[in-house]
Each structure stands twice: as C-alpha cells, then as structure tokens.
Amino acid sequence: MSEIKAQVVVNNAKLYAQMIKANSGRSVIFTNRTITTLQILLKLRLVTKPSRLLVRVLKYKNRQYKLQSQHGRLAG
C-alpha cells in the first residue's frame, strides 16, 4: 500500500510541475477582497449557463484561493 501512495505522490508532483510550467508568466495573484471572474469549464457547467462566474477573493493561502460568489462560498 505504501508503494502505491508513494507513486501517487510522485505523480501529483509531476502534474503540479506541468501546471506551473504551462502557466508560467501568466499567473496573477489576486489580493483579498478583489472582485474577478472565474472561468468554468464546459464539462462542469450547462451549455446555457455563462462560462464565467463573478467572484470575490476572500483569502489567498498556500497557492489556493477561498472564493465567494453571489450563490455562496466556492469550495474545491
């Protein structure tokens, strides 16, 4: 079981490095209380819904954001 966990950790590190490389130079860090838009992928929304959602940045910590929309706090 520990071998599988180790492989998952290595794979996650590779995926994270690929994401950083793909976004290098384009990443913007939003400050607290900033209002911005969040792009929603087509596979995660209905076709009739907008592709962007207006959100407010509540907190930025450890490279992750806590966001609030008009419908409630976003998780994940």
Question: What is the residue extent of each domain of the chain?
Answer: 2-74
Residue type, 12: N
52 touches 38 (CB < 8 A):
yes
Burial class (CB in 10 A: 0-12, 13-18, 19+), 32: exposed
In terms of pTM, does the model score above 0.75? no
pLDDT > 80? residue 35: yes
- For the stretch 42-76, pLDDT in tens is 888 888 988 999 999 999 888 788 999 998 998 76
Q: Give me 63's structure tokens.
A: 């490279």
Q: What is d(CA 5, CA 60) in angstroms, rounded to the nearest whole number? A: 28
Residue type present at position 19: M
As beta bridge partners, residue 60 has 65
Percent of the chain with pLDDT over 90: 25
